[in-house]
Amino acid sequence: MTIRSKNSDKETTRPSRRQVLGGALTSGAAVALGGSAAAQSNDIQSVDVVVIGAGASGCYAARELSRAGHSVALLEADDRAGGRLRRGEVNGEPVDLGGQWWGPGQTLLDEVSQGLGLTRLKQNITGRSIIDLAGLKFEYEGEVPALPDAEMAAFLEGVETIETWASEIDPQAPWSHPRAKEWDSITCTTWMDQNLGTDFITAFFKFAVKGVCVVDPAQISMLQFLFYCRSGQSFVTLISTDGGAQQEVFKGGLFQVPQLMAEALGDAVHLSTPVRTIAQDGDGVTVTAEGGTWRAKRVIVAVPPAMAQRIHYDPPLPAMRDVYMQRAPMGAVIKCYVAYDTPFWREMGYTGQVFFEGDANVFFEHSLNDSGKFALVAFMDGEAVLRWADRTEQERRDYVVSEIVRVFGQAGANPVDYTDKAWSADQWRRGGYGTQPTPGAWTVTGEAWNRPVDRIHWAGSDTSAVWNGYVEGALQAGKRAAQEVADLL
Amino acid sequence: MTIRSKNSDKETTRPSRRQVLGGALTSGAAVALGGSAAAQSNDIQSVDVVVIGAGASGCYAARELSRAGHSVALLEADDRAGGRLRRGEVNGEPVDLGGQWWGPGQTLLDEVSQGLGLTRLKQNITGRSIIDLAGLKFEYEGEVPALPDAEMAAFLEGVETIETWASEIDPQAPWSHPRAKEWDSITCTTWMDQNLGTDFITAFFKFAVKGVCVVDPAQISMLQFLFYCRSGQSFVTLISTDGGAQQEVFKGGLFQVPQLMAEALGDAVHLSTPVRTIAQDGDGVTVTAEGGTWRAKRVIVAVPPAMAQRIHYDPPLPAMRDVYMQRAPMGAVIKCYVAYDTPFWREMGYTGQVFFEGDANVFFEHSLNDSGKFALVAFMDGEAVLRWADRTEQERRDYVVSEIVRVFGQAGANPVDYTDKAWSADQWRRGGYGTQPTPGAWTVTGEAWNRPVDRIHWAGSDTSAVWNGYVEGALQAGKRAAQEVADLL
């Protein structure tokens, strides 16, 4: 196989539409095309590694391999790089329509983003936050609500149980815990309904599952939740702002991380190139996409399993892998930015953090890059997403604004701008933040989770043992997959 | 749009490889191909309806539409018609590697199969059957095991609860039951662990879920199980032989039903034609497959949701539909035929029916079309499938024979023939018997289950309110989808 250097061949070998056809054809069909087809077999582009999906994970894997001297083609179905990180804009300021936060322990994201010249801003924690759940409404400062004694005792007991069990999970193999089968057979809803002390605390923990995993707690098992907590250090880490996973945002937006990596990869990146088929043989792998055909030694599939299963594999994937993907759907989230002239909540003494019942049930403040302008970010998650994802942006805007008014009064009635992103409606992602394996999936098919299938390696945050579902996990998985491949090239 | 009659056009218009390319191309690409492409837009084949998937459901829908005078193209990815019904052979006799039984209440299958000239044979119930579960082993005659009193009381109480609740489910809208959310939030495992009287009865009911739904009871909710029972009349119907869903087999094999329907459809059937894209516009729908492009007024997708989601849709499907498909994976089953010189179990006084613990945990006798030859059919289901689907047929054979020996002794040690089918390894089916929505799927996304998306209609047993997962359901769904379409043509 001829290995071309990464940057030398695109201008001359990027296939025309006609060449693409040649690449996708069998030799018999090439003959049918007549003499003009004869040269086309040369138009299959050869690289060391094809990476599929230009999200943070795919970009990082491609960058690592490229820096190590391997030639790479990074194929992205969408017309932009970034995956579940995406630029939006409100009131003239760039915002993250997808992942936005950084928290302590996310060391690779820290390193990579600093290398790209990005800086961070603290998530505002000055003022009072609001919780209004299960008939109990109160305001509090700092991270831990000042709960009534009985509620606090139940809260601490629930936290201790979850933290203890989560700490026992091996994040590389959550199915290996002695109680894995038990925990994978019970939904989070059932476990929480039956094991937490009060109605409010039960509602609070189910709310936390919804907020963190963006999935209805009935749709995942206790094992998946424990794994997710363990993978992201702890339950308290995941739900905390200061000291936790929501501590800081990136000035200008976290979406810049994959965007800048993709820009640096230059001609190796092929946008609007959805992959249709991955064919392996004894010598290598042929990746056929709309827009071209690539031949490589190895391929890294850096899209979530729910999307990876929509690629056609030849030979077919093992049953274990296929069934794992069938049972590993995406979470569901809609992220809504509502921009205001003034941060009226600050003037009222609030942080902007609100946790309450409704279809847009979590608010955070967004300082719009310290521009002096402000927005509230509202999240819809789980079941609510399916009620809103297929409606218009205007309908969602009207609803979200009405909910802000319900919480803060008429001060919130007149936003100056709005934007949102319904990830479940995004045809190349079909959900977010990440993969949430269904009950019984880990213990039956977990082994196939991120194990390579011959020349196919799996990346994406969804495959990461650490910070699964987070951008840190995406980068870590990209690093791990790149290493797997590099060791075999 | 020009409507060609069903049988007149195939010889003249079946596209060459070159023509196929033209059909698949955008107009811009056609221009790139130069003058020779100009004629290719004529090579898109026009029909009233494209049906995707030549299983029992797709074949029946195509037959209904064709008989009503509509032109149809029936596209099948595999190189044979039949879907989850498939011909196998042991000891010179045809056998069903997929669905095989008929039971009372399956009226459309009765009508259709009689119309095709098929006859049925009774499943043998003469002799003693064996149950060996949870430390309790016994033999019994007839349908109901002669259980110890305490077990019998627990059994009857469990049955009554399930039958009562199942009878309350609206099979057209299982999410509409007042307790739907509660039942969709608890796994079958949890409900059965917590609500059945004895260890044996708990094991028995979980075994029944596994056997009927071929899925681990942790992987589905109580709501899905209740729906499945309601859809197939009742829990007792589904687990019974005489008077139930395993009462009779088809002489020569049930696989003949789709096979004969497909043969009668003649040139309308296109095998080895996997569909890649379904594109809708204001005037119709364009279906692009490997091997051709079709233009139609409507399309019926008669493959399970887990496979239907692997087609590319333009415009993208609504979020509700896509997320439903993500959460509706296939059950898992391997069916193994072990043929013997003599029915040694009959000579020992047994029916051949055995229900016990192991990876091949259900046996039935098969009389091989009353040929005088006999086989045992062994089923692997749920988790066990993933342990065996990626191994060799020889390994499975050795294991299954060893299990037969464990039950019946050395009489079973020397089969004369063996064949099996691991449905989870079948690239165009990836499981069986049918779809088993995951916990929380019905109540969040159930509305999208079988609701058309503009010009796309959904068939397949998986979409049927009656006899969901059974061949009767496949035919009923085909009939319903054909009617939906016919009403709009």
Residue A220: the pLDDT is 98
Range A62-78 average pLDDT? 98
**Residues in B touching A390 (Cβ below 8 Å):** 318-320
Give mean pLDDT, residues A33-42: 37
Considering the domain A10-82+255-328+437-486, what is its CATH architecture? 3-Layer(bba) Sandwich (3.50)
Residue A104 has pLDDT above 90, yes or no: yes
pLDDT at A387 over 90: yes
Beta bridge partners of A374: A340
CB contact under 8 A, A430 and B385: no
- Please name every residue paired with A93 in a beta bridge, in sequence order, or none if there are none: A90
Do the chains contact at B326 and A322, CB–CB below 8 Å?
A: no
Q: Which amino acid is it at A316?
A: P
Question: Residue B389 is encoded by which pair of tokens?
Answer: 């689907």
Residue B360's SS3 state is coil
- pTM as predicted: 0.92
Q: Do B386 and A219 touch (CB under 8 A)?
A: no
Q: Do A425 and B316 touch (CB under 8 A)?
A: yes
Instruction: Compare all CA atoms of chain A with the CA of B329 and give the residue at the minimum distance.
Output: A326
> Which pLDDT value is given to residue B17?
33
Out of A36-50, A438-452, B4-18, B139-153, give the one with best mean pLDDT. Answer: A438-452
pLDDT at site B144: 81
Whether pLDDT at A150 is above 70: yes
What is the distance between the alpha carbons of residues A465 and A228, in angstroms, rounded to a whole number?
A: 9
**C-alpha closest to that of B360 among B333, B378, B377:** B378
Kindly determine whether residue A187 and residue B189, on different chains, have CB atoms separated by under 8 Å: no
- Domain boundaries along the sequence of chain B: 10-82+255-328+438-486, 87-125+246-254+331-425, 144-239
Identify whether the C-beta of residue A418 lies closer than 8 Å to the C-beta of residue B312.
no
Q: Is A62 on the interface with B (CB under 8 A)?
A: no
Query: Percent of chain A having pLDDT more than 70?
Result: 91
Three-state DSSP string of A415-429: CCEEEEEEHHHCCCC
Mean pLDDT of A129-143: 93
Check pLDDT > 90 for residue B392.
Answer: yes
Task: Evaluate if residue B380 carries a pLDDT over 60.
Answer: yes
pLDDT at A470 over 70: yes
In a 13 Å sphere around the CA of B358, the CA atoms on its Cβ side amount to: 21
Q: Could you tell me if A359 and A384 are in contact, meaning their C-beta atoms sit under 8 angstroms apart?
A: yes
* Mean pLDDT in residue range B224-248: 97
Q: Which two tokens stand for residue B322?
A: 């896509």
**Chain-chain contact of B444 with A216 (C-beta, under 8 angstroms):** yes
In contact, B428 and B307? CB cutoff 8 Å = yes
Q: Closest partner residue to A424 among B186, B322, B438, by Cβ?
A: B322
CATH of region A87-125+246-254+331-425, choose from 3.90.660.10, 3.40.50.620, 3.90.1070.10, 3.40.109.10? 3.90.660.10
Query: B183 exposed, middle or buried (CB, 10 Å; 0-12, 13-18, 19+)?
Result: buried
How much is the pLDDT for A293? Answer: 98
Contact between A363 and A196 under an 8 Å Cβ cutoff? The reply is no
Give the count of beta carbons closer than 10 Å to the beta carbon of residue B390.
18
Same fold, A10-82+255-328+437-486 and A87-125+246-254+331-425: no
* Cβ(B415)–Cβ(B401) below 8 Å: yes
**Rounded to an integer, what distance in angstroms lies between the CA atom of residue B203 and that of residue A120?**
55
The C-alpha of A175 sits at a distance from chain B's nearest C-alpha, in angstroms, of: 13
Strand partners, B285: B280, B296
- Pairwise CA distance, residues B29 & B38, whole Å: 11
Residues of A in contact with B313 (CB under 8 A): 427
Query: What per-residue confidence (pLDDT) applies to A62?
Result: 98
Mean pLDDT computed over A359-369? 97
DSSP B371-436: TS-EEEEEEEETHHHHHHTTS-HHHHHHHHHHHHHHHHGGGGS--SEEEEEEGGG-TTT-S-S-B-
Could you say which DSSP state residue A145 is in? -
* Amino acid making up residue B161: T
Of chain B, the percentage scoring pLDDT greater than 70 comes to: 91
- pLDDT band for position A136 (cuts 50, 70, 90): very high
Matching residue, tokens 């109580």: B222
Select from B28, B316, B439 the Cβ nearest to the Cβ of A427: B316
In the predicted model, is pLDDT for residue B28 greater than 90? no
How many cross-chain Cβ pairs, A to B, lie less than 8 Å apart? 174
3-state secondary structure of A409: coil
Do A219 and B330 count as a contact with CB atoms less than 8 A apart?
Answer: no
Q: Using a CB-CB distance cutoff of 8 angstroms, which residues of chain A are in contact with residue B190?
A: 185-187, 190
Taking a C-beta distance cutoff of 8 angstroms, is the pair A470, A83 a contact? no
Of the listed ranges A147-161, B132-146, B453-467, the least confidently predicted one is B132-146
| pLDDT at position B27 | 33
Residue B150 CB coordination number (10 Å)? 12
The per-residue b/e assignment along A132-161, b for 16 or more CB within 10 angstroms, e otherwise, is bbbebeebeeeeebebeeebeebbeebbee
AA letter at B330: M
- Count, residues in chain B: 489
Using CA atoms, how far residue B69 sits from A362, B301, B486, in Å, is 56, 20, 10
**Given pLDDT bands bounded at 50, 70 and 90, which one contains residue A37?**
very low
C-alpha triplet A327, A328, A329: angle, nearest 5°:
110
Q: What is the pLDDT of residue A197?
A: 86
Contacts of A488 (CB under 8 A, 6+ apart): A297, A298
B-chain CB neighbours of A186 within 8 Å are 187, 189-190, 218
Please state which CATH number belongs to domain B10-82+255-328+438-486: 3.50.50.60
Nearest chain A residue to B216 by CA distance is: A440
Residue where the block lists tokens 């819809």: A380
**Which alpha helices (H) appear in A171-329, and where do they start and end?**
180-184, 188-195, 199-213, 222-231, 235-239, 256-265, 305-308, 319-326
Q: Which residues of chain B does A424 touch, with a Cβ-Cβ cutoff of 8 Å?
A: 319, 322-323
Which pLDDT belongs to residue A144?
Answer: 81
Q: What is the mean pLDDT of residues A403-417?
A: 98
Residues 286-345 of B with CB under 8 A from A: 306, 309-310, 312-313, 316, 318-320, 322-323, 326-327, 329-330, 332
Q: Which residue has the tokens 């905390």?
A: A240
Mean pLDDT of chain A: 92
Q: Is the pLDDT of residue A27 over 80?
A: no
Of A123, A128, A143, give the one whose Cα is nearest residue A374: A123
Q: What is the pLDDT of residue A146?
A: 83
Phi, psi of B353 (to 5 degrees): -80, 125
Q: Which whole number is the average pLDDT over A107-135? A: 97
How many whole angstroms separate alpha carbon B368 and alpha carbon B91? Answer: 9
User: Which tokens belong to A149?
Assistant: 């004694």
Q: In CATH, what class is B144-239?
A: mainly alpha
HSE at residue B308, side-chain half, CA atoms within 13 A, is: 33
User: What is the per-residue pLDDT for B20?
Assistant: 32
Instruction: Average the pLDDT over A246-270 and give the result.
Output: 98
The number of residues making up chain A comes to 489
Cα–Cα distances in Å, from A393 out to B92, B210, B327, B428, B453?
63, 44, 25, 37, 21
pLDDT of residue A28: 33
Q: Is the dihedral of CA A437, B308, A81, A301 positive or negative?
A: positive
Type of residue at A427: Q
Give the strands of the sheet with B374-381, arranged side by side.
B136-141, B128-133, B350-356, B362-366, B374-381, B333-340, B417-422
pLDDT digits (tens, 9 = 90+) for A88-97: 999 999 999 9
Task: Kindly list the distances between the CA atom of residue A30 and the CA atoms of A38, A260, B25, B31, B314, in Å, as whole numbers in the listed order.
Answer: 7, 39, 16, 19, 28
Interface contact flag, A430 B332, Cβ < 8 Å:
no
User: What pLDDT does B35 receive?
Assistant: 32
The residue assigned the tokens 């054809």 is A25
Secondary structure (3-state) at A303: coil
| pLDDT computed for residue B145 by the predictor | 82
B213 bridge partner residues: none
- The CA-based diameter of chain B, rounded to the nearest angstrom, is 84
B283-304 confidence digits (pLDDT tens): 999 999 999 999 999 999 999 9
Least-confidence region, from A69-83, A317-331, A435-449, B132-146: B132-146
Angle at B238 between CA A442 and CA B393, to 5 degrees: 55
3-state SS assignment for residue B44: coil
